[in-house]
Amino acid sequence: MEQVPRIRLDDVTMRFGGLDAVRNCSFDLPAGRITGLIGPNGAGKTTAFNVIAGLLSPTLGRVVLDGEDITDLPAYRRQEKGLSRTFQLAHEFGRMTVIENLMVAAKNDVGEGIVNAVFRPSRCLSQEREAYDKALKTLEFLEISQLAGEPAGNLSGGQKKLLELGRALMQEPKIMLLDEIGAGVNRTLLGKIADKIKQLNEESGYTFCLIEHDLDFVSRLCHGVIVMAQGELLMTGTVDEVRRDERVIEAYFGGGRYQDAS
Amino acid sequence: MELPGIAFYIVAFLTMGGIYAILCLALNMQWGFGGLFNAGIAGFYAVGAYTAAILTSAGSSAHLGGFDLPIVVGLICAGIASGIVGWAIARICVRLKADYLAMASIGIAEIIRLAIVNEEWLTNGSLGISRIPRPLEAFYSGRAAEVVFVVFVWLIVAVTFLVARRLQQSPWGRVMRAIRDNEETAASIGKDVQRFRTETFVVGSVFMGVAGALSAHYFKFFSPDATEPLLITFLAWVMLIAGGSGNNLGAIAGALAIWAIWSLTEVVTQQLPPDWATRSSYIRMLLIGLLLQFVLQRFRSGLFPEKSPKLRISREK
Ligand SMILES: Nc1ncnc2c1ncn2[C@@H]1O[C@H](COP(=O)(O)OP(=O)(O)OP(=O)(O)O)[C@@H](O)[C@H]1O
Ligand SMILES: [Mg+2]
Q: What ipTM was assigned to the predicted interfaces of this complex?
A: 0.91
Contacting residues of A for B177, CB less than 8 Å apart: 93, 95-96, 100
Average pLDDT, chain B: 90
Q: CA-nearest residue of chain B to A79?
A: B190
Average pLDDT estimate for A225-243: 92
With contacts defined as CB-CB under 8 Å, which chain B residues touch A92?
181-182, 185
- For the cut 80, the answer to whether the pLDDT of residue A99 exceeds it is yes
Of A2-16, B45-59, B106-120, B167-181, the poorest mean pLDDT is in: A2-16
B286/B294 Cα distance (integer angstroms): 12
Chain B residues 164-183 with a CB less than 8 Å from chain A: 166-167, 169-175, 177-178, 180-182
Compute how many other C-beta atoms are within 10 angstroms of the C-beta atom of residue B140. 15
**Banded pLDDT at A55 (limits 50, 70, 90):** very high
Residues B137-175: tens digit of each pLDDT: 878 878 888 999 999 999 999 999 999 999 999 999 999
Q: In sequence order, what E strands does chain A have?
A: 5-16, 19-30, 34-38, 60-65, 68-69, 83-85, 175-179, 207-211, 224-229, 232-237
Give residue-wise pLDDT tens across range B74-107: 999 999 999 999 999 998 888 777 778 888 899 9
CB of B306 within 8 Å of any CB in chain A? yes
Chain B: closest CA distance from residue A127 (Å) = 8
Question: How far is the alpha carbon of A256 from chain B, nearest alpha carbon, in Å?
Answer: 33
CB neighbours of B144 closer than 8 A, spacing ≥ 6? none
Ligand 2 centroid vs A214 CA: distance in angstroms? Answer: 13
- Closest residue to atom 17 of ligand 1, CA basis: A46
Query: Nearest CB to A96: which of B178, B187, B312?
Result: B178
Nearest alpha carbon to residue A178 among A198, A208, A143:
A208
Strand A19-30: give its sheet, edge to edge: A19-30, A5-16, A60-65, A68-69
Q: Predicted confidence band at A254 (pLDDT cuts at 50, 70, 90)?
A: low
Distances (CA, A) of B274 to A257, B182, B263, B269: 74, 52, 19, 10
Cβ(B153)–Cβ(B18) under 8 Å?
yes
Which of A27 and B264 is assigned the larger pLDDT?
Answer: A27
Taking the whole predicted model, whether its pTM rises above 0.90 is answered as yes
Greatest mean pLDDT among A166-170, A252-256, B97-101 lies in A166-170
Burial B42-77 (b: 16+ CB within 10 A, else e): bbbbbbbbbbbbbbbbeeeeebbbbeebebeebbbb
pLDDT score recorded for residue A257: 46
Least confidently predicted of A42-56, A213-227, B206-220: A213-227
Domain ranges of chain B: 5-227
Q: What does the pLDDT look like over A67-90, one tens digit per residue?
A: 899 999 999 999 999 999 999 998
Q: Measuring from atom 19 of ligand 1, which residue has the nearest CA?
A: A42
Residue B82 in contact with residue B209, Cβ under 8 Å?
yes
Cβ within 8 Å, pair B181-A97: no
Whether chain B has a CB inside 8 Å of the CB on A88: the answer is no
**Do residue A96 and residue B182 have CB atoms under 8 angstroms apart?**
no
The size of chain B, in residues, is 317
Give the minimum alpha-carbon distance from A262 to chain B in angstroms, rounded to a whole number: 38
Which chain B residues are Cβ-neighbours of A104 within 8 angstroms? 171, 174-175, 178, 189, 191
Task: Give the pocket of ligand 1 (CB within 6 Å).
Answer: A 16, 19, 21, 39, 41-47, 88
Averaged pLDDT for residues B46-69:
90
Q: Mark yes or no for CB contact B203/A132 under 8 Å.
A: no
List, as ranges, residues with CB under 5 A of the ion ligand 2.
A 46, 88
Q: Which residue of chain B is at minimal alpha-carbon distance from A123?
A: B314
User: By CB neighbour count within 10 A (0-12 exposed, 13-18 middle, 19+ buried), where does B236 fall?
Assistant: buried
Q: Which of A174, A191, A166, A184 lies closest to A86, judged by CA?
A: A166
As a whole number of Å, the CA-based R_g of chain B is 20
The DSSP-derived string for A101-167 is: HHHTTS--TTTTSHHHHHH-TTTTHHHHHHHHHHHHHHHHHTT-GGGTTSBGGGS-HHHHHHHHHHH
CA distances from B235 to B42, B228, B261, B288, B299 (A): 10, 10, 11, 9, 18
Nearest CA to ligand 1 atom 26: A41
Distance CA B256, CA B139 (A): 29
Point out the ligand nearest to the CA of residue A22: 1
Which residues make Cβ contacts (< 8 Å) with residue A225, sequence separation at least 6?
Answer: A35, A36, A37, A38, A218, A236, A237, A238, A239, A241, A242
Q: Which pLDDT does position A262 carry in this prediction? A: 35
State which residue of chain B sits closest to A52, comparing Cα positions.
B188
What residue owns the CA closest to ligand 1's atom 27? A41
Instruction: Tell me the percentage of chain A whose pLDDT exceeds 70.
Output: 95
